[in-house]
Amino acid sequence: MAPEPATWLVSATPEQISVLRTEVTAYAQRVGIADGRLPDVRLAVSEAATNAVLHAYRDRDPGHIRVDAHVQDDGHLRIVVEDDGFGPLPRPDSPGLGLGLPTIASVADAVELSAGSAAGARLSMLFATGG
């Protein structure tokens, strides 16, 4: 029987990044992500949440970051980080170095960026469970 899915909904503020990082990493450990891959999950979630905080809500009050996690039938852990901000658009005035998505892609088994269900951006990441 597959583990129960998990969902987190937090304000898109810097303080919530560590909350998501800690909670999602603990979930990943419970569902069988190998200990050696837990830092990858931690880094990917941190980068995805940071992207939402820095980019999704510029010029307006922060909205929310929603994270859904579940183990798929093929045994991969899928983590989806979604916001209801501006969407996956380039930002020429970016306060970051533009390394978040390449970093996530380097540690996850697969990554997909798309428009969110209610505007905003949706970042889906896969991590193999087990060894």
CATH number at residue 106: 3.30.565.10
Residue 65 lies in a domain: yes
| pLDDT digit string (tens) for the chain, length 131 residues | 567 999 999 999 999 999 999 999 999 999 999 999 999 999 999 999 998 888 777 777 888 999 999 999 998 999 999 998 876 555 555 555 455 788 898 899 999 988 766 668 889 999 998 75
Residue 1 lies in a domain: no
Note the helical H segments in 1-131.
14-30, 38-51, 100-107
Distances (CA, A) of 38 to 29, 64, 109, 119, 131: 7, 25, 13, 30, 11
Q: Considering its fold, how many domains does the chain have in total?
A: 1
Residue 102 lies in a domain: yes
Give residue 66's domain range: 6-128
DSSP state of 5: P
Residue 56 lies in a domain: yes
Residue 79 lies in a domain: yes
